Amino acid sequence: MSAQTNFEEFNKQIVSKWSSNRMLEPRIAKVVVNIGVGVSGERLEKAAKLLEQLVKQKPSLRRAKRSIKEFGVKRGEPIAAAVTLRGPRALEFLDKALTAVGRRVKYSSFDDYGNVSFGIKEHIMLPGAKYDPDIGIFGMDVIVKLERPGYRVMRRRRCRSTIPRRHRVSRDEAAIFFINKLGVKVVGFG
């Protein structure tokens, strides 16, 4: 058998497993958009303003965890802006972000827990984004977290418990989810 038929059989197995039990089908929990500037001040304010224009949600500032003398960064100084998107907003922005990267994601971008991250070199690559000379051009990181129904058990306050390994989203399942549900070509998989 060729590698293509093995991949198709594996894909069919996973999809049939998801359709037989709704609790096994992954879903997008959240999409985090991060613009790391590396310095505080006017440039960080412009990045936060841009992020707010793109996703229509107020970003939070991220602070440096430690001092780096060579870069002039002090511990606790704000150096990045990030936004967490959930629900329809997350899907809408993720569709734009995937279009910006040509609907292609490397298989090495997926981790063992069903998360994927990729970068966008310039924000003007996003559909509908326009260049503003007052703001400039920024790149950004997009992180997508996939999870199955039932993950609330891990986050709730009362009777908190762990999620067993068999219920976590694997790297292959995350790649198949991106291929089937989002129409993405995963480079280096299958």
Strand ranges in the chain using DSSP code E only, listed in sequence order: 27-36, 60-63, 78-85, 104-106, 115-120, 140-147, 185-187
What was the pLDDT predicted at 68? 82
Q: What six digits make up the tokens of 187?
A: 């480079």
DSSP 64: -
pTM: 0.89
Band of pLDDT at residue 74, cut at 50, 70 and 90: confident
Give the H or E element holding residue 119. Answer: strand 115-120
Q: How many CB atoms are closer than 10 A to CB 151? A: 17
**Residue 45 gets which letter from DSSP?**
H
Q: Which CATH superfamily is domain 13-187 in?
A: Ribosomal protein L5 (3.30.1440.10)
Taking a C-beta distance cutoff of 8 angstroms, is the pair 27, 86 a contact?
no
pLDDT tens string 84-132:
999 999 999 999 999 999 999 999 999 999 899 999 999 999 998 888 8
Distance of alpha carbon 83 from alpha carbon 60, whole angstroms: 6
- Answer whether 139's CB lies under 8 Å from 100's CB: no
